[in-house]
Every structure is written in structure tokens, then in C-alpha cells.
Amino acid sequence: MTKLDTSKVKDKKAFLGALTTQVREEAQKICKEFQGGSLIDIGCGNGLFFAAIGNLKNTTFFGLDYSFELLKEAEAIFKDNGFESAYLVKGNGFELPFGKQVFDGVYFLNTLLNLENRDAAEKMLLNLMNISRDTLVFDFRNRKNPYISTKYAIHNLSKTFWTKAYTQEEIEEILAKGGFKIKTLVPIGAKILPFAYLVEAERN
């Protein structure tokens, strides 16, 4: 595999941390099995996920993010890594400008943890299930890991953005409301008490 050129990544602490990178790498393994169709990365940021995936045959890529600056950064990263580009849309995941079941695969990586509470997480995931025909891939930080739960609780006392962790049971309850179930659950960081999980969910 060709090494990803990350020289244009401006905020390396946010986008190239060990945990966020491992989440993307595990999601890439799932994505590379895709047989063709439409994929969207919600909260695509600077496009690192698609740039690492590369140009999949018979696949159309879409990316949505609220930050115009990150979308511009994505274009530069795509160019540096020989990725043919995606249709990039400036938008809000809570107000998606798409109809029902329009994408074959929906990806939502390293973003759920920054939503304020479970209600916000549920609203977001239901929106994503609504636009997916078959597959939703996302990650959540594991509240049962004492390091993660303590770190996030302390962080929320002093920072200007949220960090939120969940249990597998909570995630399963939300997915069930949207008619989805977990197909694959990948532990991130450790086998026992993982820091996070990557979820490949499918429509019932």
C-alpha cells in the first residue's frame, strides 16, 4: 500500500492521532470490499479517508462537511494522493440535503464522539440510516473503558467542544430504531476494554 501523503494536513493533532487513524484504517478495510455504487462520507473533513481508499472501480464518492476550509484542504490532499476526487458538499449532517436510501454506503468516522449527548447522536444516526440503502459504517468511543470515560468527563469540564462515549447496548438500541443491526463490530485499540469500536451496520 502506498504511503498516504499527509503534508497538506494543517491540524495534524486532530486528524492524525493514533485512535482516529486506526478508526480510518479499519474502515478502509471494509470500504475496499465495496463492489460499486455510491459512497458518502458525512463529516468528511479534509478527505483523508477517501484519499487513502483510492479510486475504487465503478464507485462514485461524495463528501459532506460544514467547513469550507476543510473541503478546500481535501481537494489539495486528493491531488497529492492521486485520488480522482469526490463530489464535495458543504452541509450539516443534521439537515442532510438528500432523499431516502440514495447511497449504497454511508460512512461517519471520528465524529460521533463530538456530539453533545445521546439525543444528538440518535438524531444523527437516524438521519444517516435514512439516506443509506444497505450499509452504515461509523465508530463510537467505549464508555466501558475507564480511561476513555474518565478522560472525556474531565475534558467536558474545561473544553469548548464535547467528547462523548457510548456502550454497545446504547448503539444497538439506536440502530434498531432505524431498522438497522450490527453486522461487524471491530475493537479499536485493544481486544479487552477497547478504546473504541468500529461498527458496520446493515439494514434489517
Identify the CATH homologous superfamily for domain 12-203: Vaccinia Virus protein VP39 (3.40.50.150)
Tell me the pTM: 0.94
Single out the residue of 184, 176, 177 nearest to residue 200, CA to CA.
184
What mean pLDDT value characterizes the chain? 94
pLDDT digits (tens, 9 = 90+) for 100-154: 999 999 999 999 999 999 999 999 999 999 999 999 999 999 999 999 999 999 9
Question: 90 φ, ψ to 5°?
Answer: -85, 120
Question: How confident is the model at residue 115, as a pLDDT?
Answer: 96
Do 204 and 177 form a contact (C-beta atoms < 8 A)? Answer: no
pLDDT digits (tens, 9 = 90+) for 48-80: 999 999 999 899 999 999 999 999 999 999 999
Alpha carbon 53 to its chain's center: 14
Question: How confident is the model at residue 1, as a pLDDT?
Answer: 47
Percent of the chain's residues with pLDDT above 90: 87
Do 201 and 194 form a contact (C-beta atoms < 8 A)? Answer: no
Domain ranges in the chain are 12-203
Angle between helices 118-131 and 168-177 (to 10 degrees): 50
Question: How confident is the model at residue 132, as a pLDDT?
Answer: 98
Check whether 3 has a pLDDT greater than 90.
no
Question: How confident is the model at residue 2, as a pLDDT?
Answer: 65
